[in-house]
Each structure stands twice: as structure tokens, then as C-alpha cells.
Structure 1
Amino acid sequence: KKVDVWLEHDEKALWPCPQCPRKLGLYDHKEERVWRHLDTMQFQTFVHARMPRVNCPDHGVRQVEVAWAEANSHFTSIFERFAIDVIQETDTQGAGKILKLSWDEAWGIQERAVARGLTAKPPLVLRQMGVDEKAVGHGQQYMTLVYNLENSTVEWVGEERKKETLDLFFRSLNPEQRAAIEAVGLDMWD
């Protein structure tokens, strides 16, 4: 009930060093890796490849990057994009059932999506900020949220609802970012 696809390459192909633009010939291969891909006719589909490595004079032996997946992911990029769409319509557990993923796999996909989004986000310019605490889960667990009140976005989330938590946020700002803050609306326990 699955489809397996094996990828190969021309042995004479040139590969870029992952740390510089130098094109290099094949040094050797790492062991085979497997990535979950979008289903094919409702069958789980897996992409298999032996990862090429290059020997860069400046950086040594390095595994090349692949176009279809992020480093350390067991899913193709297009599968992760689809999984995020499903998660946005359901939740982590529901998406896991639909996509046949464990909760940890679905959560990992979300974490990578958030990391990509934060990397692509322009530097923070925060003039009017709001700070609030939100209960999470059951019991007395709280998170501290920092909002940009001008565009209604959450800019930062910290664990617990203490002054020390908010201090972490301010320490993450450079002097220019701190100086740009004109107003703060605060609703905190501590």
C-alpha cells in the first residue's frame, strides 16, 4: 500500500559545495535517505536517494543539499506545505490522522514552518506594543505574548508569565529597536 521512488544522478554531475558556490565532482555517497512525499493515488509515497557528497578544498567533505527537502527533515517540502494546509484546517492531532503522521511528526512540520516564517520576516520595528499572558493547556501554565498593536500581530512568545520572561524579550532587541518603542499596553500577573 505504498509507492517507493528511487532517485539517481549522472555520475559526472557537478554539485555545489553547501558552504560556497564552488561546483565539484562526486566524492562519495552517504547512506540512503527516505522522505515522505505527497500520496500517489491514495498510497503513501516515499522518495529514496543516496546523498552525494563533495570534497571542497576549503570546507572538506560535505553532503550536498537537496532541492526537495530541508536538511534533517524526513518529508519533502511539498508534503510539508500540504501538511501545514491540513493543520490550519484542523489541528495537530487531526492532521496526523488524515496524513498518517505521529503527533511528533506533525509538530515538527509546524516548527519548521514557523522557523521558515521567522527567517523570512523583516526586522522587527515595534512602536506600539501590547503584552498579555495566555493560559495554555490545563492547570496553571501560562505564556507571555508580545503584540504589535499597529498591525495586530504576535511578535514574540515566551514561557511563563513573569517579569523575567518579558526581560528576555527586551534583551532580544537591539538598542535601535528598544528606542523605537513609543507605547506599551501591559496586562501581566507579575
Structure 2
Amino acid sequence: MFVPLWGLMVYLLYTPRRVNCPNCGVRVEAIPWAQGKSPLTTAMMCFLATWAKRLPWRDVGRAFGVSWDYVYKAVAWAVEYGLLHQDLSGINAIGVDEIAHKKGHKFLTLVYQIDAGCRRLLWIGEGHTQKTLEGFFTWFGKHRSAALKFVCSDMWKGYLKVIRRRAQGALHILDRFH
């Protein structure tokens, strides 16, 4: 399935060639416009993932004639691609915050890049503990952590301790919204 053109669904029908090599065994031709045996082209996965940022996934599926499962797979592919090609160089400022994601006290810790020219989510950790934020700094690495110039967070003591220990050279800015 390819990206719709003028509201019309576009399908590419192609049978990949199978080769029986005496040295390698049976091989199937790689298709440059799709990943493995996926019925969605790479362009269609990008298209669906982009729309999924703006609309509920069910609505994206209905609008473009695909199942919720295809939208999910497109988003999962986009996230995996983004993580594999993520550039973490030049990050000078980060923001740390938490959000409640379930009833009760179930939190996620979020770390954002908040540089002037780039604002993006860098990392998500389960929980609102010192260990969770330690996990971010371990993932981020000592060299990049030492290069941070600014860290913005709330005044929770657990965050303060970890930031003081892991980003010693950074100016710690307390978040005015807490």
C-alpha cells in the first residue's frame, strides 16, 4: 500500500524474485520501498505516523482505509527508526518533569532537550524516583552529561540530588510551574 493520491488508494503489485543459490541457499529479492514482508511501503508508514501525531490512531486508520494495527505498526517503525538515527550531539539544556499516566500514583519521568533551536523529547522513564533519573543519565552518558550547561527541573529532592551529582557543571534552573 502506497500513500494515497488525490484521495485514491494506491497499491503496488510486485512479486519479488526468489533465487536458489548453491552457496547461499534460497534468497528473496529485497524491495527498496518496503521493510521485509510489510504490506505498507516505507512512505506510507511515514505518512501514517505523521498523521498519528495529530489524530487518534483509530481516526487515522478510518481516514486512510487501514486498520488500527497498521497505524500502530507505522508508529512503532517510525519510533524505532528515530531511535536508531537519533543525534544526541550538541545538547546544552535539558528539562526534567513527570506526568501521571494511570490512576493512583503512577508516574513517568520525561526528559526534554530545551535548547533554543531544538525542543524535543529525549527520554521517558517509568516512575518518579532517583533511580529513574539516574537511568536517564546512564543512558545519556558521562561525556554528554558533563557538557550540559543548563538543567531545568522542579524542586523535588530526588531530582535535585541526581542532577547535582550527574550534571555538576550545569546551571540548575528551578521550574517556575511547580
TM-score (norm 1): 0.63
Measure the CA separation in 2 of the matches of 1:103 and 1:119.
24
Q: How many residues align?
A: 153
1:145 and 1:120 map into 2 onto residues whose CA distance is: 20
2:30 counterpart of 1:65: yes
2:131 alignment partner, SS class: helix
Q: In structure 2, what is the equivalent of residue 172 of structure 1?
A: 139
Q: 1:110 to 1:56 in 2, by over 3 A?
A: farther
1:10-159 to structure 2, matched below 5 A, reads: 36-39=1-4, 44-53=9-18, 55=21, 62-136=27-101, 138-140=102-104, 141-150=106-115, 151-159=118-126
The unaligned stretches of length 5 or more in structure 1 are: 1-35
Cα deviation for residue 69 of structure 1 reads 0.9
Whichever structure has more strand as a proportion of its residues is 1
Could you tell me how far apart the structure 2 residues matched to 1:40 and 1:126 are? 39
Secondary structure in structure 1 of the residue aligned to 2:40: coil
Secondary structure, in 3 states, of the residue corresponding to 1:106? helix
Identity %: 25
**CA 1:189 to 1:60, structure 2 compared with 1: closer, same or farther past 3 Å?**
farther
1:160 aligns with 2:127: yes
C-alpha displacement at 1:186, in angstroms? 2.3
- Once the two structures are superposed, residues 153-176 of structure 1 have per-residue CA deviations (whole angstroms, 9 ceiling, x without a partner) of 221122222222222221112332
Q: CA deviation at 1:92?
A: 1.2
1:131 is displaced (CA, Å) by 0.7
Check the 8 A contact 1:131/1:184 in 2, yes or no: yes
Q: In structure 2, what residue type is equivalent to 1:139? A: K
Given the superposition, is the C-alpha separation of residues 167 and 107 from structure 1 closer, same or farther in structure 2, using an over 3 Å criterion?
same
TM-aligned CA deviation for residue 129 of structure 1: 1.6
